[in-house]
Structure 1
């Protein structure tokens, strides 16, 4: 326990970085995912073509490669990010694409009759989306969103490749310095706790929207 108390501050600090990446990615990527998902369902072909290429690139290449490209590759053409900004930029781009695909599926699952009924009621397109479509889409996509949220917690460990002091990096440093697996065990426990909290919150959200059945 004495050793655990010694390394715990560094692990807590690393957890703070992990949570920062996690929260900002969620806060920015979900709204962007909704917008991009809506763009994928429009009839304006040039826009859907560009969005589909973007989604294909983000989903077809590893997030690790995207992190390396943003931080080490973009400076070659004069685009320089700080480490934290580079991590956020790469994570938001990547997860926006995944969320967009999820929301696209949810939007296409809404029956056409819902839109026709909205037109009969003389609702605007924005009112139709806000009051009729989006509430139903949220319920449909919640399980898939939940999976991505859990993956995001674990994917945040990839920021070590650009030198950010996240939870996993803190554990690796302590393990290499002290030649013991205890830090990695604690890292695993912290990740399990984080995913457990997210799972509980997501289950409550699913229960909240169960009245749509």
Structure 2
């Protein structure tokens, strides 16, 4: 008996593609939400208020210290016990976002802390408020620094979206399970699933590597030029 059955692939190709499409859609939505919501969590961890820092720290540690699959199960199976019913797609978005927000907030926090103190001092010398300095100087550079890491987390999220099958969402992995059980063609089905995951994640990984090289080189040149210029401009304004 042949291990690989092409007829199964041809017969169920639309189902494979539908599952892949739902996987990509889920990944895009979760990452977009997480990338935005992780910013206030990162800022909360850097807050001057101890209670705010503590609450943010607890959230991040709980989300990072528990399995994503457990968070998904909680949203889909435990929430209804408290009267909160969540549809499979919504449960997948909420469960995956809860975890991704925690991880991305750490990325942002590291990026913000990675900005040289001279950048903040130069912005303050130019008369910028703390908020203006953060919005115009710190945040743009921090995001630029974190782009490669964000790209890596996006790829990881795309693969981890397979966990959404636990909430009965018919993404690629769950679609593969259905096809495999119907036809007993486990080798064929899971091989195709692996190829489809790889077909999306590998080009993305190459782009992230290229972006990382460009970002690191460009950032070093920009910081080397910008910091002295900004400080020089600030001194000039003070002298005037």
TM-score computed with the length of structure 2 as normaliser: 0.83
| Match in the other structure for 2:152 | 147
Tell me whether 1:206 sits opposite 2:212 in the alignment. yes
Residue 96 of structure 2: which of 91, 96, 112 is its match? 91
CA RMSD of aligned residues (A): 1.5
Partner residue in 2 for 1:177: 182
Q: Which residue of 2 aligns with 1:190?
A: 196
Task: Confirm or deny: 8 A CA contact 1:139 1:206 kept in the other structure.
Answer: no
For the residues of structure 1 that align with 2:54 and 2:219, how far apart are their CA atoms? Answer: 34
1:21 aligns with 2:26: yes
- Give the CA deviation at 1:188: 0.3
In the alignment, which residue of structure 2 is the partner of 1:6? 11
8 Å Cα contact 2:148-2:211 kept in structure 1: no
Question: Residues 98-142 of structure 1, C-alpha deviation per residue, up to 9 Å, x if partnerless?
Answer: 000111111112222211110100123333223321232123323
* 8 Å contact from structure 1 (residues 66, 90) kept in 2: yes
Q: Secondary structure at the match of 1:80?
A: coil
Q: Separation in 1 of the partners of 2:209 and 2:152?
A: 12
Q: Counterparts of 1:133 and 1:155 in 2: how far apart (Å)?
A: 31
Alignment of 1:128-143 (within 5 A): 128-143=133-148
Q: Distance in 1 between matches of 2:144 and 2:194?
A: 31
1:113 equivalent among 112, 118, 124: 118
Stretches (4+) displaced over 4 A: none
Paired residues, number:
213
Secondary structure of residue in 1 paired with 2:170: coil
| SS of residue in 1 equivalent to 2:48 | coil
User: TM-score when scaled to structure 1?
Assistant: 0.93
